[in-house]
Structure 1
Amino acid sequence: MCEPLQYPHSCNPVCKKRGCGVLYVCDGIWKAHFKHCSFIVQNHISDIPLVNFPSICTEEPIRAKGSKFCPKHAVIAESLGINPTGSSRNDLRSEIPGMQILFQAAHQTSAAKGIELPSNSEASTLPCYKQLGETKTKIDRSRGYLFIVRAGGHVESFAPIYGSESPSQVFLILIAWMYLVLQGVPVEKWGEIFIAYDNMCNLDKIRATKVLLPLPYPYNSLWINGMTKVIDGFHLSNHKSGDCHTKYNPEHIKQIHPNLETSNTQACEQTFSWLGAFQYALFQMPKYHQIFFLHRIVQRRNRYLEKR
């Protein structure tokens, strides 16, 4: 569900001046999304039990028949007498025996594994709230994509997200990407690399970030002892908590890398401005067609930026 595509990059002097190689920015784009199966499935990762996924099937529905289900779940729906072209996820909760219980269990699990609330005794840690983009529509569509972009503008990676831009999905996408990026980088240098995200304060509070990962040493602690985490400068003013302006302040980048001309924490917003030109075309595409199209235009954009 969260395995990201990754693109190699050769730095040039222009992108290095903007922080390429030492600053990465991630953010979700909600303009590009696709239809997925409407069946309710409880997803989990046994090795990371503190992380939860949306209770959805991510497979593409059968297009030829106008079905809202993938081939596997279309058979199940037909055996239960469910209309494959007219049922939404809300309909399924009442139409399929046990589906309401499964849906409630998935959401109760999410609440139990979710964000740790700050202590009331800490006046500086007022909670920050980010709109995660959860929508309720008749046709089930993905929430969009999480993009990871170098400060120089090179798209490093992207992966689809489902249901909402939930911290759990963002966490797993970043972990998979960090594991690849930090290969060969000395552990003592990990803290000199920065990752910026507009909801970093809440992402860093989920319980899964407080324990070791099921990865070989030293990567089992790549979140706890890995890249330095900051909130991008574009969204920092929206955060009210004192911790957001101290612990996650992007000014830390200049303290570690004083020779940088600029730290471009708005790299994702700039990329999304370019991607907006393809919004209508992407909306018409089914899942795998859309991902392939995104893959190709990202490759072309990356090649263009390298030649500047």
Structure 2
Amino acid sequence: MEVLVVGSANADLVVGVERRPGAGETVLGTDLAVHPGGKGANQAVAAARLGAVTALLARVGDDAHGALLRESLREAGADTDGVLGGPTPTGVALITVDPSGDNSIVVAPGANARLAPDDVVAARALLSRAAVVSTQLEIPLETVVELARRLPPECRLVLNPSPPAALPPEVLRACDPLVVNEHEARFLLGASGGRAGSGSVEEAAWAAALLELGPRSVVVTLGARGALVASREGSEWVPSPAVRAVDTTGAGDAFTAALAWRLARGEELVTAARFAVRVGAVAVTREGAQRSFPTFDEVGGVAKG
């Protein structure tokens, strides 16, 4: 197996709005659309659609939303043996998308909150076969800690700390890379994070400060500007192709999945990030999360392999 994703699986309930409401305000939106989502399921589908041999370790409910997620994973070609069912309802994400493509998301964790350290222990066979494990923080932090402890020696951990939370040193030390956006970087760095910069100097300082926290490498995603890749050897900005964004939902998951896959295939981090920014750029040109994820052939213009 190339990529094992350990994370959340949600039903995305999406409404388009002209503008997001303020406190106490009601606005009208479009008809409700229901899509398979959740950062874990998104990354598993994105990796599988690109061609990675992929499995997902997650929990869903024994309900219609859980069935929707299993079917989406199977259609993409991901292994669902690690998708565990139960009586707790499947997690739900409530998403509003404005005309610029920006989104706001509220997540009801549901079954995701029941993905326990014991589930990681029981999944030792899946772990032993993975070249890269990708995880996020829409599952309990103690489960991520257990994952870091049980990571096989030759397996690489890719962590996107979303939603952001304080990370134990043993988790940070296992990250290779830690993948953060602006908001996540500022959270982890606290007051030293500062404001978003217009150039690479400030973000290079962010990356250097994040490296001081313990991860082996860091990737700071910069939206339309691409990504900044950093390790002890230095940092490099990787630009993104210019596209017209329609919906940014799931774009970060598409990026992280692509990055994990190329790392699993043995590419250097910068080379993998060059591929990943192209995948993320394609994803934002389409509506939805999983249905926006491209195949390898649809990315176009990337290094062969």
Structure 2 length normalisation: TM-score?
0.29
More strand by share: 2
Q: What TM-score does the superposition give when structure 1 sets the normalisation length?
A: 0.29
Higher relative contact order by CA 8 Å / sep ≥ 6: 1 or 2?
1
